[in-house]
Amino acid sequence: MFLQDVVSRRFFVSVGAEMDLVAMQRSEARFDKYVADLVAVIGHADRAGPLRDYCVGLLMPGERKSVEPMAAVTAPARVAAQHQSLLHLIANAPWSDAAVMAKVCQMVLPQIERHGPIEAWIIDDTGFPKKGRHSVGVARQYCGQLGKQDNCQVAVSLSLANHGASLPMAYRLYVPHDWIEDAERRRSGKIPEDITFKSKNQIALEQIKQARQQGLPQGVVLMDAGYGNNSDLREGITQEGLIYVAGIVPTTTVWAPGTLPLPPAPRTGRGRPGKRLRRDAAHQPVSVKSLALQLPQEAWQTIAWREGSNETLSGRFARCRVRPAHRDDLREAVRPQEWLLVEWPQGETEPTKYWLSTLSEEVGFERLVDLTKLRWRIERDYQELKQEVGLGHYEGRGWRGFHHHATLCIAAYGFLISERETIPPSGPGAAPLLQKPAVPDSYRPRGAADPARTAYPELDRDNPTTPRRRPRQEPRPMSLLQRAAQTAEPPSTLMTQ
């Protein structure tokens, strides 16, 4: 059965094997309905089988979720034909990523909202390390996965979240100037003609505008300092009628409580009166770091924001009302006040994190911290999408394939979120997550060593990997899903073709 092979579950001991089987059949039917709704969006009926198989491959355990290994998992008796079918669906078929993402949101958001209304729109990006230079958009840039500058691709996303769950609803590759301006690289990466250069901040703001046009449930826009330190992005979010909590760097300047920029210069003699705000040597804004260091001791409070796996997560915070000062000497009007939130953990010699927020002046201190810290949801999403669903495993080099693969990863992830809502909150511990796929003994991935070596090693073209390599570990179980209860029924085989 499909469910036994793909969606693991946990049930109360008292439920029994018969009800366990019924529940799995129901979940299989939900998966079929989920895929059928996606097929209706991508258009052609002949894509139904490859789409279903691709989603199954993303959900199955395995070290790689690229096209060829998934072909071996989903059609072990006809790997070559399945490989071509899946590759065409991902790399060549001209279906709309935006339409599929919109359908996924339509199906999954009601399940997320069972935990409560959407509270946040989370802006972030994720990097995929690459060795070569031919994959579309690859360049030497900051890669969050590595924590440093390196050769990688970077994609910008917008996720909808509440305290119970979250889901990416927009996803786009950032393409550096070098790719956009180089006709040969554009051709090799199959970048559409209408794609022009956009910074990550511009992509993020475009995604926000599209979400507004789609009428998605609104939330507070959350972003780290990589995005929040850009005043144009913050102002663009405000112009869209949205509230934000934006990470900033310690050197960001603000007008401290009770201070303002100087008014425009009065008219003296001939000429027009001044219109721009002013500063002088004695009247300057301050950095948020220097302001935080001047706050009195009573301004700091210890606030808990979430139950972690082992303990309650908390920190020491202070807040005050300030006015952002970035280039306001080119403005005619004073910016409105915002919250400055500062975190200074115990044992640290200085504050470690800073945020600006347009939440109302009446918002409670705990609520401000709670919303600010809700950004952890996107970090969990990327961890699950990469480690469990294979978001970074696509090996093609083109624009369409990169986005098609990511879209179906998010679609599979959305189904897992929906299924989690049907799993009881407790139950016995468990069996292995999934069975090993029945891959034929004769199957050998491209580039693998030939097990039948010649009698003369110097004539061997396919040398095996060196025995000094560390042994590979078994794939870790999917943390999103709970494990299946042992039953008397024999395990089913892989999906029939």
pLDDT per residue as tens digits for the range 71-124: 999 999 999 999 999 999 999 999 999 999 999 999 999 999 988 999 999 999
Structure confidence at residue 34 (pLDDT):
93
Confidence label for 275 from pLDDT (cuts 50, 70 and 90):
confident
Determine what percent of the chain falls in helix, strand and coil, rounding each to the nearest 5.
Answer: 40, 20, 45
Max mean pLDDT range (63-67, 235-239, 333-337, 442-446): 235-239
The mean of the pLDDT values for the chain is 83
pTM above 0.85, yes or no: no
Please give the Cα distance from 367 to 307 (Å, whole number).
15
| CATH 3.90.350.10 describes domain 228-257+285-374 | yes
Please give the Cα distance from 162 to 109 (Å, whole number).
10
pLDDT per residue as tens digits for the range 374-423: 999 999 899 999 998 999 999 999 999 999 999 999 999 999 998 876 65
- For 482, residues 6+ apart whose C-beta sits below 8 A from its C-beta are 8, 9, 10, 420, 423, 427, 430
pLDDT of 2 higher than 70: no
Confidence label for 3 from pLDDT (cuts 50, 70 and 90):
very low
Please give the Cα distance from 53 to 497 (Å, whole number).
9
pLDDT-wise least confident of 156-160, 239-243, 464-468: 464-468
Q: What is the mean pLDDT of residues 46-55?
A: 93
Q: Can you give the residue ranges of every domain in the chain?
A: 2-224+378-420, 228-257+285-374
pLDDT of 260 higher than 70: yes
Structure confidence at residue 402 (pLDDT):
97
pLDDT per residue as tens digits for the range 283-303: 889 999 999 999 999 999 999
pLDDT of 4 higher than 50: no
